[in-house]
Structure 1
Amino acid sequence: MNAPKASLRVGIAIQLSAIAGGAFAANVVIRNPTFEELARLTVTSVTGTARPQFTAPAAATVLTAEELNYIGVRNIPDALRYAPGMQVSQFNAHQWSISARGFNTIAVDKLLVLVDGRSVYTPLWSGVYWEQHAWLDQDLDRIEVINGPAGSVWGANAMNGVVNILSRSARDTMGTALTVGTGTEDEAFGSFRYGGTAGKNAWYRAYADYSRYDDTELGNGQPTGDAWDMGRIGFRYDRDDAANRIFVKAEAQSGNFDEPGFIPSPTPPYQTRPPRGYNHGGFVQASWARRLPEGSEVAVGAWFERLERQLQPTNEQSNTLDIGVRYVTRLGDAHNVAAGAIYRYIEHETTPTFVLTFTPRDRTLHQWSVYLQDEVQFHKRFGATLGVRVEDNPFTGTEWQPDLRLSWSLTDQQLLWAAVGRAVRTPTVADESRTFVNQVSPPGSFGPGSPPVIHEVLGSHSLESEDLVAYQLGWRGRWGSDAMASAALFYNDYKRLILYEQQPLDTVTQAPDFWLLALIPFNVGSAHAHGAELTGMWQPMPRWRLFGEVSYLDLKVVPAELPLASNISGSTAQVQASLRSNLELGRHWEIGVGLRYVDDLPAQNVDSYVGADVRVARKLTEGVKLALVGQNLWEPRHAEFRSTSFPIDSYIQRSVYLALTWRR
């Protein structure tokens, strides 16, 4: 059977109901995968329906739980370091900056992240609170990484890429699992899960996790003061019979965070220690899919999330409700159509502080969208996917995002694909209405007798959406049953980027106590980016697999005379590369090695570095495994990110941890 027709039939048979924007989850579980299973992984995040990764017309990478476990990865950011095109920078113990294909700033706003199909971006600034979602779930199935725009499927803010984190169905996690561990940086961690049946064709699991992390290190070797801990409890229920598929998941988390450094203050010495931070919240998520005749399916789903968070500089509470419906049908043997609609309601409250104030302090946001995806197989070797999404948001009104993807199966072992699409990044609550004080200069800083000067970043209600048109070309190939590779080329054209312009010194508004020096956002920026991403997998022996990734990115943001434009251009790692080795020695030993190279960031004065991760595991008895893991072993410590908004030079240290896992 040729690859395109196989792709179509798999998509029709599985019909995963991953609703765009967030209501549904479906999983393909792989335990101890063979090379052939890895080569035939499905991916849902490209078009919203399942298809083999090999035939997906996108720069798609799938990281399975098994391969991540081999190198001892314990959190999602560290996992994403091994995905091509992803730039992961940790700037203290509990904060990361993660982007796809550039724009890696303190507040990344062009990457959409989903957990089991549920969007986890914050409407405050369109980013992700990674400390809340950094868990590498012991029941993780896989992480799908899509580089390039995916706005026609997932909506605004899926501008440079999508990360979809998928957990295993409760059907595949029956029994008991317990993990405990300790280390130099991961001071204490543990997880417990119990799963079982809930009647015919129904399964459940309950789980709990806890982790405590040590401080990072300052340049003088002293602790940064950013230690943190977080706990989580949750429940999942799955039912799957001939006619229906039901999914329910609920989770609550609570974490406490030491805040490093100082924050601005209106009184001498014009800075103070921040209070200890916290992040509390939870969600409930459910979906129901009904299988219809002739391969059609209709699905409805919803999720509700509550968040209470105080971590500098924000102090916020929010309630989010997302409701969606999706219909998939087959129009002949070579034609699939999917359509859907989504409504999202957000209540957002903030507590004003000297550092950050929103006007108004509370917002209620309504957002809706409709979308259509049309997949056609014109010939046994040619296929096309045309999608469009129309979205109405409270900041810029109606936005539309089209996408066209073409695939050509050169042979059964080689695929060529191309794509062109438009995506937008809408303004946020912060872009519109914030007053953020990032510094207070003491008296006399601006001349003899001058009062203290408040440096602030303001919002604007006149902003438009940022716009991207992306062009992509890719290839995938297989060589027998032990090697495969892929390559992607891209060119991105950005318009109406939001950049900040310095305003004249204001000596009147708060005189005589203060002068003001403000930055105001405008849609005055543009950018061009081009690059390439290469991946490969080779199995030289039955029990030894090698994975390699390398990426190149050249990003130029203009006008270069604006500080933020030059900072974005110079905060992009032009070259990144990684190599992983997974080796089984006999029946009882596993050895995993991961090597990573990240280029320098000249705008941040961050040097290039090499990361090395090593895991050695021993199977003690049936179901019991002991693992010793070393992370960042290449050098004692290294810096990954610096920002004038958080002027703390934290260094990521070499670390070791020991973990014991028991399953039955």
Structure 2
Amino acid sequence: MTAPSAPLGLAIAIHLIATAGSALAAEDNVIIRDPTFEQLARLTVTSVTGTVRPQFTSPAAAYVLTAEELNYVGVRNIPDALRYAPGMQVSQFDAARWSISARGFNSIAVDKLLVLVDGRPVYTPLWSGVYWEQHAWLSQDLDRIEVINGPAGSVWGANAMNGVVNILSHSTRDTQGTALTLGTGTEEKVFGSFRYGGAAGVNAWYRAYVDYTRRDDTELGNGQSSGDAWDMGRIGFRYDRDDDANRIFVKAEAQSGDFNQPGFMPSPTPPYQAPPPRGYNRGGFVQSSWSRRLPAGADVAVGAWYERLERRLQPTDERSDTFDVGVRYGTQLGGAHTITTGALYRYIKHETASTFQLTFTPPNRTLHQWSVYVQDEIRLEDRVGATLGVRVEDNPFTGLEWQPDLRLSWSVTDQQLLWAAVGRAVRTPTFADESRRFITEVSPPGSFGPGSPPVLNEVLGDRQLQSEDLIAYQLGWRGRWNNNAMLSASVFYNDYDRLILYEPQPLDTMTLAPDFWRLAVVPVNRGTAHGSGAELAGMWEPAPRWRLFGTVSYLDLEVQPAELQLATIIGGSTAQVQASLRSNLDLGNDWELGVGLRYVEDLPALNVDSYVGAEVRVAKELTEGVKLALVGQNLWEPRHAEFRSASFPIDPYIERSIYLALTWRR
């Protein structure tokens, strides 16, 4: 397949004829206001198999966070929401950066978690991670967040290694009318959003929206401001059409943000440090999908999306165009088999601007990637089922990769489910792994002996890298009691091979002589790891107006070989024990009280102490459709550190904060 000469024009053309983006999964959920326990217990998920099925019977460690329930504790962004999902490791680094992973491997550049927004993957091709400053902020039209712990490569492809997060918004059918939010606080200085939705004919609806956020600086260890304040605005549009046979989905969005960048970047001249320039993140996307219901329970869907990104945030200065097109077909065979098959093609054009700190060779790359997959959901008996799937993917870094997955489920009773799964997933190398030259520090003259020149501390790339490999084994159980309590538990064992770690090289006095010496580390596939753990999540309604949610997670991760420093850092950068508790209480007379508590164990490799996070929200409906909320966040202590990184040698702390928000819906 040849590359499109004008990917934007092609994407818009496809958009106009209603072919579609990777949001190929059906949206059968209806908006839930003030959900009952039974409605929460019967939530559906699409991220496990790529098709809609009840969460309770899904053969995976699946957890759903609904917008209505998160709103009770005043959550304003995706990272803070994910803190209440079992198995997720969420650490805020500074005002605009988070480290978010599933089942370990927490770092400032997490590359083993796939994040989707309405089915569209939002990872960067540069290093296979997520720019959270672009995607973190909760839409007022959020439906739910699906969290799947464990590999899902047979459905979603490479990089869905340790888990999948799928952020889903409501259909426009369910967001008619006007919604306005205005707020201010000690950390979120100003925020606001406006949305209007209406009908667009028979069985068709739309909404247009805009939002803005301005965030204050975090605080350094010495009590001074870190200088990392930022602001971002977003404008978007969505259209849905749904009749007896066809479903059409169209979405377009643009964002622009400006960021103060704290700290220093390496410089080739004394004092060998320089302040970074002001950063920005600008771009937008168009996404659409068309699906048709066919006779005998079959369906077909086609999709495409295009995204343009321009971003300059330390240490990268990049521009990218991504075009993605896919097709999916599902059918029933013999009453016992539900077959889903599909194919996908992705085109990425990526450009970088070389700086002293970071250079890619070559600076511009074009990537073509395709994959095909097939999945069979088999009903073995009335209460026993199996799901067998495999995806074959071709990428320009390692060629063909295959990712199989087997899942079994047994409905012991109508109120209890046992499930087991084994699967293989990979994380393919990236542009950064292959071709970067990243200078982390410049040691001044004399650091390596009298008369020695400045020394560049560098991270280099290697084009011979192979994909990282995971074989994962999982076992889980779910149960319900008395229509007011539900509990789920899962245990897992992960076996990693060919992990990319960094091997130090001897001091190089020749390559850059006479101006510099070089002390480099290079990536190698020498790492292995074993991760084991357990996750527990429960929901209990002790009274009709009171609901409790609790989670506990344990992880033991050991990375080898120990002589490579990064292996020790990875193992000590993930909390072994985490726990959370949420209480949502309707006080009556239009008053609401939400309380959230979180415990995160220490990160010894990063010198980060354990901490407790506490959130409290008190809200009052002043009149019909008008609500005022006062929210306190991180109330347990005045400030705490959550993460540190050698790539950003600053010491930011997350402060206690409050905000006041007024919402109006009509």
What TM-score range do you get, normalising by the shorter chain?
over 0.9
Describe the SS at the equivalent of 1:504: coil
Q: 2: CA distance between counterparts of 1:512 and 1:340?
A: 56
**1:476 — aligned with what?**
478
**1:303 — aligned with what?**
305
Q: 1: CA distance between counterparts of 2:600 and 2:498?
A: 29
**1:13 — aligned with what?**
none
Q: 2: CA distance between counterparts of 1:436 and 1:24?
A: 39
Shift of 1:511: 1.1
Percent identity, aligned pairs only, is 79
Describe the SS at the equivalent of 2:56: helix
Question: Where do residues 312-327 of structure 1 align in structure 2 (5 Å cutoff)?
Answer: 312-327=314-329
Q: 2: CA distance between counterparts of 1:292 and 1:156?
A: 30
Q: Is the 8 A contact 1:27 1:169 kept in 2?
A: no
Deviation sequence 1:409-464 (CA, Å, 0-9, x none)? 11110000000000000000000000000000001111111110000000000000
Q: Is the 8 A contact 1:403 1:421 kept in 2?
A: yes
**2:397 — aligned with what?**
395
Question: Where do residues 413-432 of structure 1 align in structure 2 (5 Å cutoff)?
Answer: 413-432=415-434
Shift of 1:480: 1.5
Query: Does residue 1:236 correspond to 2:229, yes or no?
Result: no
Deviation sequence 1:603-624 (CA, Å, 0-9, x none)? 0000000000000000000000
Amino acid at match of 2:659: Y
1:92 pairs, out of 88, 91, 94, with 94
Q: Is the 8 A contact 2:76 2:137 kept in 1?
A: yes
1:262 pairs, out of 248, 261, 264, with 264
Deviation sequence 1:577-607 (CA, Å, 0-9, x none)? 0000000011410000000000000000000
**1:614 — aligned with what?**
616
2:279 pairs, out of 277, 280, 286, with 277
Change in CA separation of 1:361 and 1:27 when aligned onto 2, cut-off 3 Å: farther
**1:39 — aligned with what?**
41
Identify the range of structure 1 (299-308 vs 329-338) with the bigger mean alpha-carbon deviation.
329-338
Amino acid at match of 2:582: R
Describe the SS at the equivalent of 2:434: helix
Describe the SS at the equivalent of 1:294: helix
**1:533 — aligned with what?**
535
**1:179 — aligned with what?**
181
**2:659 — aligned with what?**
657
Q: Is the 8 A contact 1:20 1:48 kept in 2?
A: no
Q: Is the 8 A contact 1:528 1:557 kept in 2?
A: yes
Describe the SS at the equivalent of 1:138: coil
Q: Is the 8 A contact 1:298 1:328 kept in 2?
A: yes
Q: Is the 8 A contact 1:637 1:653 kept in 2?
A: yes
Q: Is the 8 A contact 1:23 1:302 kept in 2?
A: no
Shift of 1:32: 1.2
**1:294 — aligned with what?**
296
**1:411 — aligned with what?**
413
Change in CA separation of 1:284 and 1:455 when aligned onto 2, cut-off 3 Å: same
Shift of 1:332: 3.0
Question: What TM-score does the superposition give when structure 1 sets the normalisation length?
Answer: 0.97
Shift of 1:307: 0.1
Change in CA separation of 1:48 and 1:24 when aligned onto 2, cut-off 3 Å: closer
**1:104 — aligned with what?**
106
Query: Does residue 1:155 correspond to 2:157, yes or no?
Result: yes
2:168 pairs, out of 156, 161, 166, with 166
Q: 2: CA distance between counterparts of 1:656 and 1:474?
A: 39
**2:567 — aligned with what?**
565
Q: 2: CA distance between counterparts of 1:542 and 1:136?
A: 28
Question: Where do residues 200-599 of structure 1 align in structure 2 (5 Å cutoff)?
Answer: 200-599=202-601
CA-atom RMSD in angstroms: 1.2
Q: Is the 8 A contact 1:23 1:303 kept in 2?
A: no
Deviation sequence 1:293-346 (CA, Å, 0-9, x none)? 011100001000000000000000000000000001111333210000000000
Q: 2: CA distance between counterparts of 1:283 and 1:26?
A: 20
Amino acid at match of 1:324: G
Describe the SS at the equivalent of 1:158: coil
Describe the SS at the equivalent of 1:395: coil
Q: Is the 8 A contact 1:279 1:310 kept in 2?
A: yes
Any runs of at least 4 consecutive aligned residues in structure 1 with deviations exceeding 3 A, and if so which?
18-25
Q: 2: CA distance between counterparts of 1:22 and 1:602?
A: 40
**1:83 — aligned with what?**
85
Q: 1: CA distance between counterparts of 2:55 and 2:187?
A: 36
Q: Is the 8 A contact 1:427 1:464 kept in 2?
A: yes
Amino acid at match of 2:55: Q
Q: 2: CA distance between counterparts of 1:262 and 1:30?
A: 48
Shift of 1:27: 5.2
Q: 1: CA distance between counterparts of 2:183 and 2:52?
A: 36
Q: Is the 8 A contact 2:26 2:51 kept in 1?
A: no
Query: Does residue 1:640 correspond to 2:642, yes or no?
Result: yes
